[in-house]
C-alpha cells in the first residue's frame, strides 16, 4: 500500500481473489497492513491490480462510476481518470 509505513500486523492479500480464480503464487500476493486490508480492500475503498510485487496499480478512494481519489503504480502517481 503506497505511503503506508506499517511493519507489523501485515496480512497476505490475494490481488486476484481466490474466489475469482486467483492462486497462491507469489505474483498474486502482497503484504498489506490489517487496517488497509480490512477497512480499505474489503470495504471496497481500495483496489489493487497487476502482478506483485513490483507491477501493482493501486486505486485509493475507489467510488463506483467515478474516478478514484488517488491512483498509483508502485510509488508513482497516475492520473486518477
Q: Residues 52-69: pLDDT tens digits?
A: 999 999 999 988 899 999
pTM value is 0.88
H/E element holding 58? Answer: strand 55-60
Give the integer Cα–Cα distance in Å for 57 and 44: 15
**Would you say 67 and 81 are in contact if contact means Cβ atoms under 8 Å apart?**
yes
Domain boundaries, the chain: 10-78
pLDDT tens readout for residues 19-34: 999 999 999 999 999 9
Sign of CA dihedral 50, 30, 12, 68: negative
Q: Provide the pLDDT for residue 56.
A: 97
* Cis-peptide, bond into residue 22, ω within 30° of zero: no
Amino acid at each position: 500500500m503506497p505511503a503506508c509505513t506499517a511493519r507489523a500486523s501485515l496480512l497476505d492479500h490475494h490481488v486476484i481473489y481466490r474466489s475469482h480464480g486467483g492462486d497462491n503464487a507469489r505474483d498474486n500476493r502482497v503484504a498489506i497492513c490489517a487496517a488497509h486490508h480490512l477497512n480499505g480492500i474489503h470495504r471496497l475503498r481500495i483496489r489493487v491490480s497487476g502482478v506483485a510485487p513490483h507491477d501493482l496499480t493501486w486505486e485509493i478512494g475507489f467510488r463506483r462510476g467515478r474516478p478514484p481519489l488517488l491512483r498509483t503504480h508502485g510509488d508513482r502517481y497516475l492520473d486518477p481518470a
